Amino acid sequence: MESIEEHPYFFQSGRYEGMSLEWVFVKNPLYISRIYRNQFIHKRNYLKRVENRLELAIDTLQKKLRAMDVVKMCPICKEHKVHYFLLPDRGQVNSSLISCEKEECKKELKSFRPGELYTISDFLLIIPYMEKREAKSVISIFKKSHPIQLLASLV
Ligand SMILES: [Zn+2]
């Protein structure tokens, strides 16, 4: 984590005025995910300078999430740390539908339940497009597999 360049960002307005991006992320990841999505929509529009600073800060946050030590083991092989969650073609996201990076485990998870695999640490990119209930399940998968309190202690 030392090699990641810091780009601190504090919200200037809105419900989290004065709070850091990381603090808000820990409290309300869904809020950050929506900002993340909106960045791409409003990129060429207003407040370009502010948007760019926020974009840098969110990119830094994303790098930190990817570099975090995972604390949960793969429920299939029980040998490696989890890496993916499954978005099932039918039915709900479920915290037991996870696997490590091994091909055998990915295959077994998909045979158990057809769907798409997504990287758990990249969940911010995916949840803005989900129903709130599903998004909350994905957030809970992230929180159970990553030491999010470490991030909070840096804030
Ligand atoms: Zn595995």
Per-position pLDDT tens, the chain of length 155: 457 788 889 999 999 999 999 999 999 999 999 988 887 666 555 555 556 788 889 989 999 999 999 999 999 999 999 999 999 999 999 999 999 999 999 999 999 999 999 999 999 999 999 999 999 999 999 999 998 777 766 55
Expressed in angstroms and rounded, the spacing between residue 135 Cα and the centre of ligand 1 is 24
Give the span between the Cα atoms of 47 and 20, in whole angstroms: 19
Q: Which residue has the tokens 């992230």?
A: 142
Handedness of CA 14, 15, 17, 19 (dihedral sign): negative
Expressed in angstroms and rounded, the spacing between residue 145 Cα and the centre of ligand 1 is 14
Expressed in angstroms and rounded, the spacing between residue 101 Cα and the centre of ligand 1 is 7
Residue length of the chain? 155
Helix, coil or strand: residue 73: strand
Please, what is the Cα angle at 147 between 102 and 27, to 5 degrees? Answer: 125
Expressed in angstroms and rounded, the spacing between residue 34 Cα and the centre of ligand 1 is 31
Would you state the structure tokens that stand for residue 52, as one six-digit string?
Answer: 């760019």
Contact 122, 68 (CB under 8 A): no
Contact 137, 94 (CB under 8 A): yes
Give the span between the Cα atoms of 93 and 8, in whole angstroms: 33
Contact 149, 130 (CB under 8 A): no
Residue list, CB under 5 A from ion ligand 1: 74, 76-77, 80, 100, 102, 105
